[in-house]
A and B are shown apart, each in its own frame.
Chain A
């Protein structure tokens, strides 16, 4: 029976959050610390001709100016920390000024004169693809990968910028919702017989769609503080990840792994924007070295909008063929991504969502990602998948209606099961119980009952919707590390970042469970790399629960094997004759013969070698090797690399059910009910599962109804840099009586049965709400994310203004 997995507990950092005592990067001060501020580009596209900082440098209290010349050059398409020659978006950092006070630093910024040369700019990817359209970079307008894409959040490597234009006929086609025949793409794949699939179809829907990017706006802006001591850099950062930062950040600073102490006890949100070391960390660390003083580089809210990354937008076209029995026989999908100033889009992940939602018999995907002179784009919670879910759900409803099929039945007909596939390569999944989730959700929500209720009540109309969110939810090959101290306590070392998901803590429960140690006798060691933390995945891609319950469980198995060996050597018999329990290792035949964990740890220290970390497996990561070396001789060490055999993507799936009441006079709606059921294997930490599910549900409302970039196409200026204008959901925008559940069927490839769930929570909510909006309006398709109140009221008033000319960023 499980003692920890599936049970609630209080993650150790929660009390510090309610008292304000926990520290974020900006809460640290250091003797002699100076304050750095960024000077950023006022224009969307231009060339820096001259920088005159002389007046600023003469100011009392100014200690230095740091420019791109102080950093190794980053050729395009890399995202430089500081622009060297060309600026490609409003808000792009050009230099940093440090002074003894923030006030002086800010005043100094005003004294710096920069001469710019303006360049043409573009904020709409379709415009850039048009004949004669502007290019966001001097080199061109399209990011072409020459090497396979890394994991989400990884910096772009192996890519070049090309200049691609489409014939006017293709531009006209995509703008009017037709296939852009003759348009060039940079990513293409297909499976099955598409022509046969469409020929088999009883109904075909063909629709354009657009989704608009929006900033992450983590509540903590990415402030950092760094100082150097004895050749080591101490870096207080704001990252989603802990260990996954070290190698990249050490490289940015030009130092060995062993010379970087990355400190990040808590992070005020990330949502994909802080997965790995981001370019601006290079300024803080290197500036501190040049000045030989601690430097705090504080990022303002407005700057966080500029440099804090955003979701890629997309404009696309889809054609779906459905057979009379409801099976999706063919999908043809085209996506033009708005890659902003960094060029990367998530069209491939959007296409992956379609494969999961439909399990189509045949499919073709063609994509291209276009640079615009807007903010850098990066991974944002279910990048690609979630926005696709939002626009696909109402179309799915239309397809179901066309063949007279219930919308939940339609989704069940095309559901991802354990023998199903995901993505263009049709790769396997570790297990999937979405069928069960749909059934459980429909029951909990009362789908049939709600459909049977009257729809119209005066000027109010009800809508009910259903949607599916998907994201891969697990990784392999990382390391686990723990120590049984000579007093018998279990120290679980975690290199998992603490961005508010509590997965750093939840995953440690796997070690406690395996070693059968009560939680109050366990301590999680995390938050600074000099606490000897193992190599860990980055906290992106919903992976952590799957990935690190495995590593911690494996480290525990290593410790158990060592406990048994020590006991057998001391007390006789073979290791196999021993079992564990009650913090003892004892003979299975006679439990009175044994050692306590404390005694065994003391023996491990006497024996040395592998038992106490003087020796370690040679397949562990260099970072873990450093960590074990640091712990050597302090107890019984359990350490292992995750080599558990197995294949397939661990899926994270959520199905959402939403009921709204819309006021036809105002276009506003209230969410009356939201129910979501996850297929994420065994729920590891129920209370936190609820919070993750609800947080994602809130994000789904933002995506479908509220949040978007707005750029002025005349001047290329962002119109909504702040929180207030960008409108992340507030208490008043969401339902606060939601019902959350899980299928709770263990995944066979995880010793605890768990998989991650962070991202699909949003996709399900976004999709279910979009489905409900469409349902309230008799199946009208907006084909937009977001679908804002003004679009709804325009539709109700008979204006096609909002949907006639789809555009990302600028409508």
Chain B
């Protein structure tokens, strides 16, 4: 089971804690109940004017990416709409589903609930950065194909990210450790058993 400590010993950002901090700081600060929670939950929506974008350099999948970022912008938004990395999915935009999971310093986080400005200088891995440079799929991806894990596939990138993080920290998890580690990723299609079988296959525990 992966723990709150990352490989290099740093304390990880537990995805649930991250989410709470975010909600407290941002969502309750001014979302209009009748308009539906949009991409811009934050104070900007109140001002009616764009707050200034600031140029920051992000480290995404091992590359430095300069990008203009609003103060309220979430990492999921930046990835999808500024950097055209649409593999990261937004299922809820409020920390409830895990479709947007990325790794920040090796730890799975809900990127819809992380402000882009807060990952400056941190290593971010998205689904686009999981396969090898030569295109070889990660063991998790191969196993998910072999197990026909995805149904609709909308949760799949997030499931892959959580599985990759788990196996980085615990290469041979038990089934129940795998379930714990994956439990922050909702799958509305209910493909859970096939994802767990995929994790067990990727860790060499399922022929």
Interface residues of A (CB under 8 A from B): 8, 10-11, 13-24, 26-27, 29, 37-42, 59, 91, 101-111, 217-221, 266-271, 298, 300-303, 306, 499-502, 687-688, 690-691, 694-699, 722-724, 728-732, 734, 736-738
Residues of B within 8 A of A696 (CB): 190
Asked if residues A736 and B36 are in contact (CB atoms below 8 Å), the reply is no
Asked if residues B190 and A219 are in contact (CB atoms below 8 Å), the reply is no
Asked if residues B188 and A219 are in contact (CB atoms below 8 Å), the reply is yes
Of the listed stretches B7-15, B40-48, B113-121, chain A binds B40-48
Question: Known contacts being A219-B99, A219-B152, A301-B93, is A103 close to B127, with CB within 8 Å?
Answer: no
Residues of B within 8 A of A18 (CB): 137, 140-141, 144-145, 149-150, 156-157, 160
Instruction: Please measure, in the bound complex, the distance between the C-alpha atom of A290 and the C-alpha atom of B155, giving whole angstroms.
Output: 34
Residue among B37, B94, B150 making CB contact with A14, cutoff 8 Å: B150
Asked if residues B48 and A220 are in contact (CB atoms below 8 Å), the reply is no
Asked if residues A39 and B35 are in contact (CB atoms below 8 Å), the reply is yes
Asked if residues A298 and B39 are in contact (CB atoms below 8 Å), the reply is yes
User: Can you list, as one digit per residue, whether each of B167-203 has a CB less than 8 Å from chain A (1) or not (0)?
Assistant: 0000000010001001101111111111010000000
Residues of B within 8 A of A500 (CB): 150-154, 189
Residues of B within 8 A of A690 (CB): 148, 194
CB proximity to A under 8 Å, residues B82-116: 84, 86-94, 96-97, 99
Asked if residues A695 and B189 are in contact (CB atoms below 8 Å), the reply is yes
Closest to A765 in B: B190
Residue among B37, B84, B130 making CB contact with A300, cutoff 8 Å: B37
Interface residues on chain B, number (Cβ under 8 Å): 69
Asked if residues A220 and B40 are in contact (CB atoms below 8 Å), the reply is no
Asked if residues B190 and A19 are in contact (CB atoms below 8 Å), the reply is no
Nearest Cβ distance between residue A65 and chain B, in whole angstroms? Answer: 14
Residues of B within 8 A of A40 (CB): 34-36
Asked if residues B151 and A107 are in contact (CB atoms below 8 Å), the reply is no
Residues of B within 8 A of A91 (CB): 36
Asked if residues B86 and A23 are in contact (CB atoms below 8 Å), the reply is yes
Residue among B96, B152, B175 making CB contact with A268, cutoff 8 Å: B152
Asked if residues A109 and B32 are in contact (CB atoms below 8 Å), the reply is yes
Asked if residues B150 and A736 are in contact (CB atoms below 8 Å), the reply is no
Asked if residues A697 and B153 are in contact (CB atoms below 8 Å), the reply is no
Nearest Cβ distance between residue B95 and chain A, in whole angstroms? Answer: 8
Residue among A103, A302, A688, A695 making CB contact with B39, cutoff 8 Å: A103
Residues of A within 8 A of B87 (CB): 19-21
Instruction: Please measure, in the bound complex, the distance between the C-alpha atom of A16 and the C-alpha atom of B185, giving whole angstroms.
Output: 19
Nearest Cβ distance between residue B183 and chain A, in whole angstroms? Answer: 4
Question: Known contacts being A15-B145, A18-B160, A106-B40, is A220 close to B86, with CB within 8 Å?
Answer: no
Nearest Cβ distance between residue B17 and chain A, in whole angstroms? Answer: 16
Residue among A102, A687, A694, A699 making CB contact with B38, cutoff 8 Å: A102
Question: Known contacts being A20-B86, A102-B40, A302-B36, is A724 close to B96, with CB within 8 Å?
Answer: yes
Instruction: Please measure, in the bound complex, the distance between the C-alpha atom of A106 and the C-alpha atom of B39, giving whole angstroms.
Output: 8
B65 CB-CB contact with A under 8 Å: no
Nearest Cβ distance between residue A69 and chain B, in whole angstroms? Answer: 21
Interface residues of B (CB under 8 A from A): 32-40, 44-50, 70, 80-81, 84, 86-94, 96-97, 99, 126-128, 130-131, 137, 140-141, 144-145, 147-157, 160, 175, 179, 182-183, 185-194, 196
Asked if residues B194 and A732 are in contact (CB atoms below 8 Å), the reply is no
Asked if residues A266 and B148 are in contact (CB atoms below 8 Å), the reply is no
Question: Known contacts being A18-B137, A20-B127, A500-B152, is A691 close to B191, with CB within 8 Å?
Answer: yes
Asked if residues A691 and B38 are in contact (CB atoms below 8 Å), the reply is no
Asked if residues B40 and A219 are in contact (CB atoms below 8 Å), the reply is no
Closest to A27 in B: B86
Residues of B within 8 A of A730 (CB): 183, 186, 192
Residue among B45, B144, B151, B191 making CB contact with A110, cutoff 8 Å: B45
Instruction: Please measure, in the bound complex, the distance between the C-alpha atom of A15 and the C-alpha atom of B130, giving whole angstroms.
Output: 13
Instruction: Please measure, in the bound complex, the distance between the C-alpha atom of A17 and the C-alpha atom of B157, giving whole angstroms.
Output: 7
Asked if residues A10 and B145 are in contact (CB atoms below 8 Å), the reply is yes
Instruction: Please measure, in the bound complex, the distance between the C-alpha atom of A102 and the C-alpha atom of B45, giving whole angstroms.
Output: 10
Asked if residues B183 and A732 are in contact (CB atoms below 8 Å), the reply is yes
11 CB contacts below 8 A, A to B, read A8-B148, A15-B145, A18-B137, A19-B127, A42-B34, A101-B50, A107-B47, A107-B48, A269-B152, A690-B148, A732-B179
Nearest Cβ distance between residue B192 and chain A, in whole angstroms? Answer: 5
Asked if residues A110 and B46 are in contact (CB atoms below 8 Å), the reply is yes
Residues of A within 8 A of B156 (CB): 17-18, 20
Residues of B within 8 A of A303 (CB): 36
Residue among A13, A220, A738 making CB contact with B154, cutoff 8 Å: A220
Residues of A within 8 A of B80 (CB): 27
Residues of A within 8 A of B36 (CB): 37-38, 40, 91, 300, 302-303, 306
Instruction: Please measure, in the bound complex, the distance between the C-alpha atom of A531 and the C-alpha atom of B38, giving whole angstroms.
Output: 34
Closest to B144 in A: A18
Nearest Cβ distance between residue B131 and chain A, in whole angstroms? Answer: 6
Instruction: Please measure, in the bound complex, the distance between the C-alpha atom of A111 and the C-alpha atom of B34, giving whole angstroms.
Output: 12
Closest to B87 in A: A20
Question: Known contacts being A37-B38, A723-B96, is A42 close to B86, with CB within 8 Å?
Answer: no
Residues of A within 8 A of B38 (CB): 37, 102, 105-106, 298, 300
Nearest Cβ distance between residue A231 and chain B, in whole angstroms? Answer: 29
Closest to A302 in B: B36
Residues of B within 8 A of A502 (CB): 148, 151
Closest to A299 in B: B36
Question: Known contacts being A18-B144, A37-B35, A300-B36, is A695 close to B131, with CB within 8 Å?
Answer: no
Instruction: Please measure, in the bound complex, the distance between the C-alpha atom of A512 and the C-alpha atom of B158, giving whole angstroms.
Output: 34
Nearest Cβ distance between residue A268 and chain B, in whole angstroms? Answer: 3
Residue among B148, B153, B192 making CB contact with A22, cutoff 8 Å: B153
Ranked 7 nearest A-B pairs via Cβ? A20-B87, A698-B190, A500-B152, A268-B154, A17-B153, A500-B151, A20-B127
Asked if residues B127 and A738 are in contact (CB atoms below 8 Å), the reply is no
Asked if residues A302 and B44 are in contact (CB atoms below 8 Å), the reply is no
Closest to B77 in A: A102
Residues of A within 8 A of B128 (CB): 19-20
Nearest Cβ distance between residue B92 and chain A, in whole angstroms? Answer: 4
Instruction: Please measure, in the bound complex, the distance between the C-alpha atom of A698 and the C-alpha atom of B193, giving whole angstroms.
Output: 10
Nearest Cβ distance between residue A675 and chain B, in whole angstroms? Answer: 13
Residue among A101, A687, A723 making CB contact with B186, cutoff 8 Å: A723
Asked if residues B190 and A734 are in contact (CB atoms below 8 Å), the reply is yes
Residue among A26, A38, A110, A728 making CB contact with B188, cutoff 8 Å: A728
Asked if residues A15 and B137 are in contact (CB atoms below 8 Å), the reply is yes
Residues of A within 8 A of B152 (CB): 218-220, 266-270, 499-500
Residues of B within 8 A of A695 (CB): 151, 189-191
Asked if residues A103 and B50 are in contact (CB atoms below 8 Å), the reply is yes
Closest to B73 in A: A103
Instruction: Please measure, in the bound complex, the distance between the C-alpha atom of A103 and the C-alpha atom of B47, giving whole angstroms.
Output: 11
Residues of B within 8 A of A111 (CB): 48
Residues of A within 8 A of B147 (CB): 687
Instruction: Please measure, in the bound complex, the distance between the C-alpha atom of A738 and the C-alpha atom of B96, giving whole angstroms.
Output: 26
Nearest Cβ distance between residue A149 and chain B, in whole angstroms? Answer: 27
Question: Known contacts being A267-B152, A730-B186, is A723 close to B137, with CB within 8 Å?
Answer: no
